[in-house]
Amino acid sequence: MKALQVPQDDSLPSMIPTVKRFMGYMSPHKLKLALVIFLMAVFALIEAIFSLLMGAATNIISAGPGPVGPLYQIIIWLFAGAIIIWISGAISEKLLSNISQDALYQLRIDLFSHIQKMSLGFFDRRPIGELMSRVTNDTQVIEQFISIGSLQTGQAIMTIIITSIVMLLVNQSLTILSYIVVLALVGASWLITKTSGPAFVLLQEKTGDLNGFAEEWISGSKTVIACRQQEAASRRFSAMSRKVADIGEKAQFSALISQQVSNIFTTIVIVILLLVGGIMVMEGMAEIGTLIAFIGFSFSLLGAFTTIFSSYAQILNAIVGASRVFEVLDQKPGVDDRKNAPAMPAVDGDVIFDHVDFSYIPERRILTDNTFHARPGQVFGLCGPTGAGKSTIINILTRYYDIENGAIRIDGNDVREVKQDTLRIQIAQVQQEPFLFSDTIMANLKYARESATDEECVQAARQANAHDFILQQPKGYQTILVDGGTNLSQGQRQMLTIARAIVANPRMLILDEATSNVDTRTEKLIQEGLLALQKDKTSFIIAHRLSTIRHADQILVIDKGAIIERGSHTELMMKKGFYFDLYMSQFRGKLSGIVME
């Protein structure tokens, strides 16, 4: 087997705090848990009584000819005990299933809700596939243990406790003898699991990486095919899968070896009990029935310990999964509301950037000393090279990130002093890549404002030039959009996002290259919708096609995080500076008579 580098024991998640924290999700069901533990105790006690009854039956048989009534009575007790075991086991499984599913339901809800509250920076640092693995794979391994493994493990622990007590009450000498072998098994199993156990931590991490890779590449299948990277994707997936398989082989090694070790020690304990116990019976120090009972006790103990060590993989997987879930739950939003922050009042759209500096990563400045003033109803265009900082200005205006220095004020209110959601609800955004949900067209339009009426949505669709093509869909406004709108063209999806922004009835508007991915005819339709949307609203337009911001009241030319030029289209063209060169590069050969427009 290939050697692998795995974490040492000190890198394993702290088991007790993790288990204790998860038990908090089960605490609302304390009475049910108490009943499960009681039924486990009944199960273990009946199992121990079985061994005593078998010993008693052996004594009756070994005594020679005599009344068979006591033997029949033992058989009846055995049948009754079997029924009790079956009933207690069934009830325990039902209760534990109910408890575990409720706990996991709440855990999933807490995890998903917490992720929704995180700032944009949280998602920037984590691939979507990794987060999906936390929500699905990690909660699944917890479920697998809680639903099945926890009952087996709990029952095994209860069997060890009850059986040990009964053994001590029956014969202390044989108990000590049995435990010498049992503890030797425990020691051997512990050494095996201690050696290979840390691999489960690595297995869980690499499985999460594998799931994240699959999620990303399947989501980007169109790009993969277009770039002819199918074979490369398959090779990388194969390499990652091989690594997971190798780690899994090592991780599962303990369970396989533990079973073999258990079989060996079971044979040893029987041989020792028969040898030593047989001598004790022959010398009158014990009855043969006691010896038979202790063989049964030993089988129960060995089986219980074997169950625990065989479940080690499942237990550790569940703990690792829970620790990964709790690690996300412990993350704090990078941007948080200040204590008792007031709601943002209804804004007019007076926006001031006052000497603003910003960095995504400390000491790597993205924006430097940005200052400008947008008055209510004005249209501001943002242009410049890729990576200049245009989108960053929008990200801090909407407070997806907090600035380092300076201030951003809207109608005199510092955006850091008000509740984020009351700020963002007044700003509509139309992104370069339209995003729609797999729901009806009408539901997608209402996503911006749930209280909107059907009539308001239809009117918004008309303003966005989307109404006609919506009516051409199989069920009109009730047509289900497949996989985020793949049954629509790029331009149609963009018109729907514009209609959605109109439904939101915002006070301010952000357009992030909203027409860069459509043809000229569709762009004209979209521009008409955008003009309707921009009416009387302070608007910020990020532009790659400079023709889309020629009408702007003010154009900010950004390069390397600084505003290097500002003015109207005509003013900037007259300066013949950076903007002029940028415009010329796009419209070379088509500029006759345009400079002084």
The confidence band for 596, taking pLDDT boundaries of 50, 70 and 90, is very low
pTM of the complete model beyond 0.75: no
* Region 125-136 average pLDDT: 74
Q: Which residue has the higher pLDDT, 34 or 313?
A: 34
The dihedral sign for the CA sequence 148, 152, 158, 162 = positive
The confidence band for 9, taking pLDDT boundaries of 50, 70 and 90, is very low
Domains parsed from the chain with CATH numbers: 15-329 (1.20.1560.10), 338-426+510-517+544-597 (3.40.50.300)
**Of 105-119, 183-197, 413-427, 569-583, which range is least confident?**
183-197
pLDDT tens digits along 247-304: 777 666 655 666 666 677 777 777 877 787 778 878 778 788 888 888 888 888 878 8
DSSP codes of every residue in 417-430: GS-HHHHHTTEEEE
Question: For residues 515 and 548, what is the distance between their CA atoms, to the nearest angstrom?
Answer: 8
- Provide the H-helix boundaries in 27-149: 30-62, 69-117, 120-125, 128-133, 139-144
Question: For residues 69 and 550, what is the distance between their CA atoms, to the nearest angstrom?
Answer: 106
pLDDT at position 128, please? 72
DSSP SS3 for 567:
strand
Lookup: tokens for 442: 């009408």
pLDDT at position 10, please? 46
Q: Which residue has the higher pLDDT, 527 or 556?
A: 556
The confidence band for 574, taking pLDDT boundaries of 50, 70 and 90, is very high
DSSP state at residue 148: I
Q: What percent of the chain has pLDDT over 70?
A: 85
DSSP SS3 for 353:
strand
Average pLDDT over the chain, rounded to whole? 82
Q: What own/partner pairs with CB < 8 Å and gap ≥ 24 does 146-150 have?
A: 146/96, 146/100, 146/103, 146/104, 146/318, 147/96, 147/97, 147/100, 147/101, 149/311, 149/314, 149/315, 149/318, 150/96, 150/100
The confidence band for 445, taking pLDDT boundaries of 50, 70 and 90, is very high
Residue 395 has pLDDT above 70, yes or no: yes
Residue 183 has pLDDT above 90, yes or no: no
* Region 451-465 average pLDDT: 89
The confidence band for 520, taking pLDDT boundaries of 50, 70 and 90, is low
Q: List the helix and strand counts (H, then E) for the chain.
A: 23, 10
**Of 159-173, 419-433, 502-516, which range is least confident?**
502-516
pLDDT at position 592, please? 41
Beta bridge partners of 558: 563
pLDDT tens digits along 16-28: 788 888 888 888 8
pLDDT at position 570, please? 93
pLDDT tens digits along 326-372: 888 888 888 888 889 999 999 999 999 999 999 988 778 899 999 99
pLDDT at position 162, please? 93
Q: Which residue has the higher pLDDT, 572 or 65?
A: 572
